[in-house]
Amino acid sequence: MATAEDTNAARGVRDEADAEIERLAVDIGACRACVEAPLRSPLPHEPRPVCVLSPTARIVICGQAPGTRVHASGRPFTDPSGDRLRDWMGIGPEVFYDAARIAIVPMGFCFPGLDAKGGDLAPRPECRRLWHDKVFAAMPRIELRLVIGGYAQAYHLGAHRHRTLGGTVADWRAILSATRAEGRAALPLPHPSWRNNAWLKRNPWFEAECLPVLRSEVARLVG
């Protein structure tokens, strides 16, 4: 039976975890490294970091970077990609945006701008260098990382990543099993953007085989 001393110690640990997450959230919200000390051309607009940190979440969504709509809203996945991702996960907005259950940590916290063809630039490298190790160290309850896109897979999967994004996603079963054995379970996913509609049609196994496992894992961890 837990003693009052045990309970107070556990409460102190939780309070410190909450405080660390709050400090990180404040510091990230004020970050201007991509403008004032950029590792490549400066961000072409004012920074607006978008992420959801949590000391209690058991799932973290690890994506690329905010797009134009998210930059405008200041809330992650407020676009058709978010609608598709929520459908893949089998949850609605009320669960998806519950920070007590789901954290959202893209590789770049700010919208990186557009390239000459109108596509999004790569995530800013400053975020990974300054923040990601600290953020994940401060979220010890994470049990599953949903890893979306090549940049996130490079950071989170390491040697488990294949040469191509499609190859990585196709090996999702082995990657989930291996990373779970390492204590950092990760499930690689394609980006839920409309730009991947053709890939999804060519790979019906993703919907038939991967999504049921994804939904089962999500239901277990957010329940």
Report pLDDT digits (tens) over 29-41: 999 999 999 999 9
* 8 part of a folded domain: no
CB atoms near residue 43 (< 10 Å): 22
Report pLDDT digits (tens) over 34-66: 999 999 999 999 999 999 999 999 999 999 999
* 67 part of a folded domain: yes
The conformation of residue 42, written as its DSSP 8-state character, comes to P
* 179 part of a folded domain: yes
Q: Give the model's confidence band at 119: pLDDT under 50 very low, under 70 low, under 90 confident, else very high.
A: confident
State the CATH number of the domain containing residue 192: 3.40.470.10
- Domain membership of residue 40 as a residue range: 14-222
Query: What whole-number distance in Å separates Cα of residue 186 and Cα of residue 129?
Result: 21
* 5 part of a folded domain: no
Q: What is the pTM of this model?
A: 0.92
| Cα 30–Cα 31–Cα 34 angle in degrees, nearest 5 | 145
CB atoms near residue 48 (< 10 Å): 16
Count of domains observed in the chain: 1
* 2 part of a folded domain: no
Closest CA to 112 of 179, 64, 183: 64
| Cα 143–Cα 144–Cα 146 angle in degrees, nearest 5 | 160
